[in-house]
């Protein structure tokens, strides 16, 4: 009700319809109309989703200006704020270590 209240009786906004579909199709795995502990855990930490790989791909995609799938020192420095704020670089700490691949 904080985000949407259907007090006027009008149609639901598209985002509400989408969220209802997401809930019924993907979140409520046992189809009981509510999320239990296991369903919440699967939603927050899905077993088939590699967070580190997704973050690494995101960093490369956003920083790889010439789209050669390799990051140069300049590309990293030009996007330093993304790397320093990323769990993939231990919030920038790993960038201070010498790496042969760089």
Q: Is residue 79 located within the same domain as residue 55?
A: yes
Q: Is residue 34 located within the same domain as residue 58?
A: no
User: 88 near 55, Cβ under 8 Å?
Assistant: yes
Total domains, the chain: 2
Is the residue at 7 inside a domain? Answer: no
Is the residue at 36 inside a domain? Answer: yes
Q: How far apart are CA 56 and CA 45, in angstroms?
A: 17
> Which pLDDT tens digit goes with each residue over 44-60?
888 888 878 888 898 89
Q: Is residue 58 located within the same domain as residue 29?
A: no
pTM (predicted TM-score): 0.45
Work out the average pLDDT over 12-27.
Answer: 91
Q: Is residue 37 located within the same domain as residue 21?
A: yes
- pLDDT recorded at residue 95: 63
Q: What is the dihedral of CA 35, 39, 43, 45, to 10 degrees?
A: 140
Q: Range of 37's domain?
A: 14-44
Q: How far apart are CA 53 and CA 79, in angstroms?
A: 19
Is the residue at 97 inside a domain? Answer: no
Q: b/e map of 68-99 (b: 16 or more CB within 10 Å)?
A: eeebeeebbeebeeebeebebbeeeeebeeee
């Amino acid at each position: 009700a904080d985000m949407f209240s259907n007090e006027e009786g009008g149609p639901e906004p598209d985002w509400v319809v989408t969220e209802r579909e997401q809930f019924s199709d993907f979140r409520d795995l046992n189809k009981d109309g509510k999320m239990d502990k296991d369903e919440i855990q699967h939603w927050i930490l899905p077993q088939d989703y590699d967070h580190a790989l997704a973050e690494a791909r995101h960093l490369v995609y956003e920083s790889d200006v010439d789209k050669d799938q390799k990051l140069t020192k300049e590309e990293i420095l030009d996007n330093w704020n993304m790397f320093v704020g990323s769990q993939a670089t231990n919030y920038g700490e790993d960038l201070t270590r010498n790496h042969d691949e760089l």
